[in-house]
Amino acid sequence: MAKIVRGAVLLLSALTAGAWQAPAPEPSASKLPDAAEINSIMRRLADITGFRIRRQLPFQLLSRDQINAYIKDQIKHSVRPKDIYAEELSLKKLGFVSADFDLKKTTIDLLTEQAAAFYDFHQKKLFISEWAASSMREEALVHELAHALADQNFNIEKYLNKGPDDAEESLARQTVVEGQATWLTVEYAARLAGRSLINADTAREFIRPDTDPDDPQYPVFSKAPLYLRATMLFPYEQGEVFQQAVFLHDGQAAFGTLFRKPPLSTSQVLHPERYFAGTAPVVPDLPKPSPGTKAIVEGVFGEEDMQVLLRQYISLPVAQGLAPGMTGGQYRIDELKKDHARTVLLFATQWDSADSAIAFVNAYETVLEKKWKSVEQGEHDATHISGKSEDGYYRVERNGKTVLAREGFSEKL
């Protein structure tokens, strides 16, 4: 049985484990920053974080084709085909993407489009794209040098791969890495202007979510499913806000604290007070596979997942109002032993109150109606709903603060 270790984008975008070597490009002094510029940025970042600069950083300029080849090589060497299949199947059964969605191709296209520069945690080397706009490269350079500096003080490759096979914890760790670098990029620019994010007015001015995600410069991103767009943005946007909260709480020590004591879930990232209080996510139990079926995929379902699900099928206000009440979630996909084409989904969530659980059952009924092309509603009362779609029969039951959804069965439950 496959476990989902990372969210969809994280599964394919962790550029940490390859042995790929780019062919040496022609020298381009006008595009490639020199060692003096890199060292200057590193020194300023070290002043902000308190991290030590331990070695000179090697760097290289790449073409778009070389970056595309690099990403494909990382997937080939660090991600097993069965893991890609498991992640894609999960996204389809949960309703995040369409039945004909190609996760691998879309992710490669997304990452190629987005890459202005990146730091390889395995090779300990900085790569800079030759095609990105100069202003974009400059901002990306500070971001990636923040990664390099953190890596010289904490082994980021080990940090990202440490811990249980848990998509929530993995995404939370990725959020620390990207959120800290994003925050440092903004703080770096603010300090050049004689300001700092420690000032509330400066923070309100500089720390703002992207209000124009449909940028024509990024057509692949604009057309990607909401789940992939949200998962790509989460470590940067929410990570920046989270880093700010921990910085205001712990000062300069925050930079090291988050690598020594990472958050355990997206809930802790979204609600820093839960991180400070050590409020761990709950993992509700799932029933054992039915006779004649076997478990093939299982994964943890976190608050950010719930936010996206409710936003996709209902609305952003409903997502923001309801998702924080979920204290934990888990799902599993079972396959019929005699008919491998049929899979069933078991999806359990636990809530902070019975009222929140009731509200979720009502909301999830709307999700089911929109998730499938054809839905026949069945029973509906205070404790359960049932019905049938083209995927099979479903039943959603509430027991106190726990909700269990079972979907895709060939017979009525």
Contact by Cβ (8 Å): 79, 332:
no
Q: Which of 56-65, 243-252, 329-338 bottoms out in mean pLDDT, i.e. has the lowest?
A: 56-65
Domain spans, the chain: 7-18+32-277, 293-409
Contact by Cβ (8 Å): 89, 345:
no
- pLDDT for 208: 75
How many CA within 13 A on the CB side of residue 261?
Answer: 11
Output the average pLDDT for the chain.
Answer: 86
- pLDDT for 263: 97
- pLDDT for 43: 96
- pLDDT for 132: 56
- pLDDT for 210: 62
pLDDT-derived band at 6 (thresholds 50, 70, 90) equals very low
Q: What is the pLDDT of residues 155-188, one digit of tens each?
A: 999 999 876 567 899 999 999 999 999 999 999 9
Alpha-carbon span 84 to 297, nearest angstrom: 11
Give percent above pLDDT 90 in the chain.
61
408: alpha, beta or left? (left if phi > 0; alpha if psi -120 to 50):
left
Residue 20 has pLDDT above 60, yes or no: no
Residue 290 has pLDDT above 50, yes or no: yes
Q: What is the pLDDT of residues 40-68, one digit of tens each?
A: 999 999 999 999 999 988 888 788 788 77
Q: What is the pLDDT of residues 64-108, one digit of tens each?
A: 788 778 878 877 777 778 888 889 999 999 999 999 999 988 888
DSSP bridge partners of 67: none
Tokens coding 182: 């994003």
The mean pLDDT value for 265-274 works out to 98
DSSP-derived letter for residue 298 is E
Q: What is the pLDDT of residues 103-146, one digit of tens each?
A: 988 888 887 776 667 888 888 988 877 765 455 567 888 999 99
pLDDT-derived band at 340 (thresholds 50, 70, 90) equals confident
pLDDT-derived band at 214 (thresholds 50, 70, 90) equals low
pLDDT-derived band at 209 (thresholds 50, 70, 90) equals low
Place of tokens 């969210």: 7
Residue 371 has pLDDT above 50, yes or no: yes
Alpha-carbon span 238 to 76, nearest angstrom: 30
Alpha-carbon span 67 to 373, nearest angstrom: 39
- pLDDT for 13: 42
- pLDDT for 21: 34
Does 3.40.1000 match the CATH number of domain 293-409?
yes
Alpha-carbon span 136 to 229, nearest angstrom: 20
- pLDDT for 364: 97
Which pairing describes strands 326-336 and 375-380: parallel, antiparallel, or unpaired? unpaired
Which residues have CB under 8 Å from 147's CB, separation 6+?
119, 121, 156, 177, 181
Angstrom distances, CA of residue 408 to CA of 103, 199, 342 = 22, 53, 8
Give percent above pLDDT 70 in the chain.
87
DSSP-derived letter for residue 163 is S
Contact by Cβ (8 Å): 235, 177:
yes
Residue 30 has pLDDT above 70, yes or no: no
As a whole number of Å, the end-to-end CA separation of the chain is 25
Residue 8 has pLDDT above 70, yes or no: no
DSSP-derived letter for residue 330 is E
Alpha-carbon span 259 to 156, nearest angstrom: 9
DSSP-derived letter for residue 27 is P
